[in-house]
Each structure stands twice: as C-alpha cells, then as structure tokens.
Amino acid sequence: MPHADGQSHRDRTAVWPSLPLAAWHDTYATLHMWMQMVGKIRLALSPPVNHWWHVTLYVTSRGLTTSPIPYGSRTFTMEFDFIEHHLLMTTSDGVMHTMALAPRSVADFYQECIALLHTLGIEVVIHAIPDEVEHPVPFADDHTHAAYDAAYAQRFWRILVQADRVLKMFRSRFIGKCSPVHFFWGAFDLAVTRFSGRRAPALPDADAVTREAASHEESSCGFWPGSGPIQAPAFYAYMLPTPAGLEREPIRPSSAFWSPELSQFILLYEDVRQAATPDDVLLEFLHSTYEASATLAQWDRAALERGI
C-alpha cells in the first residue's frame, strides 16, 4: 500500500535494499582489497590534495570511479561497474580494457590489473599492502580473499547511490570549506566533511596520514557497511576534536545513538531503510548531529551555513 509520499514499501526497499553484514561478509572483504588496489593506483599518480581528497573514489550511475588520473599528457579512469560487473579502464586517447568482477583471489586480480595497465602504456608502482585492516597481506600473496557475490555487490552500490544523493543534499546548505561526497577505500566508507576553518590541536602520536586527515576542526558523516563494534550497515556522524558533552546531546531520530567505542553517533541503515520517508529520516540525523556538534564547538554557524 502506498504511503503519503506515493511510494510503496516494496518500492522503497528496492531503492534501499537490505544488506545484512553476515550475508556478504566475504564479498565485502574481497571487494575491499580490490578497491584498495585501485585507490592506491590513484594515490601514486595524483597530485596531493588536503585531507587526502586526491585518493578517493566517487559514486557513478554504474558503480565507483577514480575520476581521471593524470599520466604524463594523458589521463585514464578506472571504474568498478556493478551493473555489468567488471572493472573498466579507459584512456584519454580512446583505449578501453575491462576485467571481470567475479569470484577470484586478490592475488589474481592484482596480477591482471597491473598487466592491463601495462598494455595501456601505464607503469605504476604502488605500496601493494592494504591499509586500515587487521593482519594485512600483500596483494600479490592474498589467495584467501576470493569471494564475489554479484547480487550483494550491486546492493551495496545501490545503497551508495542513495546515500550519495542524500549526502549531497545535506552538503548543499554549507558554504564553508567542505569536502566532496567521496568514498574512502581505506575505511570503506562514503563520507562528506565540513570544516570550521580553524586548525585542530595536533593529535598525540598520530601518524602522517592521520595528521593530514585531522589537521583542521571537522564535522564528518557518512555510510559504511559495518565492522568492529557495529556489526551492521550504518550511517555515522562525528566531530574532531570532540566537544565535551557531545554524547549527552539530544539528536534525532530517536533510534540514533552514541557509540562510546567509536566516539560518534550511529543510525543503523535498517532504521532508515524501513522508514516511511528514508530521505527525511537520514537528513534529520545528519542535520541534528551536525547542529549539536557545531553549537557545542562554537563554530561560526552564521558565516558557514546557508540561510541561518
């Protein structure tokens, strides 16, 4: 039966499909390694941009892309296509190659990926070991991760399409410095980050990657499939540095909560998916968590937000 917005429950759950972590965990782990590989190729060849914005992937109408990567006077693009299920490589001089997204080991994927780049005249050396995972195995030696369930990979991308769309709506109200909506292959999350314009205190014992990522006060939010203490897909929101008392601030919707393990607010994806108006519920979470954080941190909201 249609709801007030004219969209039936069946229509909504097709647009916002279910993604139980246990059902696709092995595919998730393999895809994470493949995306790290492609992301590291972009990292190796792209001019640096603050907060590591030069390494991310972007949601497209078919999957996730690197966007054009410079190589001498040429450019090339690598895109995960979750409709035809292949990795597409195209160059600015009109050459195209594809490789299958199918059950295959990370080592096999790595070997073919580098070989195809070679046929395109692209030679690149990457740090061929995954980041931000426990017990990292070099790509060339990883014969363990080899799962690919095409249906679940496509479900994941379809959720990214919806999350990307809503996060861009949320981003549009901020007129200060703000990141694109982009996908970080290290943590495997889609994110958008707002900045106050002030430098952040240096994090003690932070590595070079973290120091650059957290160099300025930020309010970040996004989506990821779940890991660690959150064993389910979820939306998140946090601020760095974290204002004192943020965990006690009332936020919306009522199903959202503070995770002490992660020091951030969490809204489970299933609570968005099952809502009568998922866009509204997600925007309520994004706006209420940002407003609570920015107010406590004494950001100059009048100067940073449209229409405040």
**pLDDT surpasses 70 at 308:** no
pLDDT mean over 243-264 = 97
Same domain, 179 and 100: no
Q: Which residue has the tokens 């954080």?
A: 293
Coil, strand, or helix at residue 70?
A: strand
Residue 49 placed within a domain = yes
Same domain, 193 and 74: no
Q: In what order do the strands lie in the sheet with 216-224?
A: 182-184, 189-199, 216-224, 234-240, 264-268, 257-259
**pLDDT surpasses 90 at 68:** yes
For the stretch 131-181, pLDDT in tens is 999 999 999 999 999 999 999 999 999 999 999 999 999 999 999 999 999
Same domain, 41 and 103: yes
Our count of domains for the chain comes to 2
Same domain, 289 and 203: yes
Cα–Cα distance measured from residue 174 to residue 259, given in angstroms and rounded to the nearest whole number:
26
Residue 235 placed within a domain = yes
Residue 10 placed within a domain = no
pLDDT value of residue 214? 84
Half-sphere exposure of 202 (CA within 13 A, CB side): 5
pLDDT value of residue 209? 80
Residue 283 placed within a domain = yes
The Cβ of residue 89 has, within 10 Å, a number of other Cβ atoms equal to 22
pLDDT mean over 216-243 = 97
Average pLDDT, the chain: 95
**pLDDT surpasses 80 at 4:** no
Residue 290 placed within a domain = yes
Same domain, 177 and 287: yes
pLDDT tier for residue 1 given thresholds of 50, 70 and 90: very low
Same domain, 116 and 184: no
**pLDDT surpasses 80 at 16:** yes
Same domain, 31 and 74: yes
Residue 158 placed within a domain = no
Same domain, 182 and 299: yes
pLDDT mean over 191-200 = 96
pLDDT value of residue 203? 79
pLDDT value of residue 290? 98
For the stretch 222-234, pLDDT in tens is 999 999 999 999 9
pLDDT tier for residue 288 given thresholds of 50, 70 and 90: very high
E strands, 212-287, are 216-224, 234-240, 257-259, 264-268
Same domain, 262 and 172: yes
Instruction: For residue 211, give its domain range.
Output: 163-304
**pLDDT surpasses 90 at 47:** yes
Phi-psi map region of 6: left, alpha, beta (phi>0 left; psi -120 to 50 alpha): left
Residue 253 placed within a domain = yes
Same domain, 238 and 272: yes
pLDDT tier for residue 212 given thresholds of 50, 70 and 90: confident
> Do you find a cis peptide bond into 225, omega within 30 degrees of 0?
no
Same domain, 247 and 131: no
Q: What is the DSSP letter of 140?
A: G
- List 220's β-bridge partners, or say none: 193, 238
pLDDT tier for residue 5 given thresholds of 50, 70 and 90: low
Look at 8 and 32; give whichever has higher pLDDT: 32
Residue 89 placed within a domain = yes
Look at 212 and 291; give whichever has higher pLDDT: 291
Cα–Cα distance measured from residue 294 to residue 306, given in angstroms and rounded to the nearest whole number:
14
pLDDT value of residue 64? 98
Same domain, 128 and 167: no
Do the bridges between strand 182-184 and strand 74-81 make them parallel or antiparallel, or are there none, so unpaired? unpaired
* Final residue in a domain of this structure, among 109, 141, 173: 141
pLDDT tier for residue 118 given thresholds of 50, 70 and 90: very high
Longest dimension (CA), the chain: 57
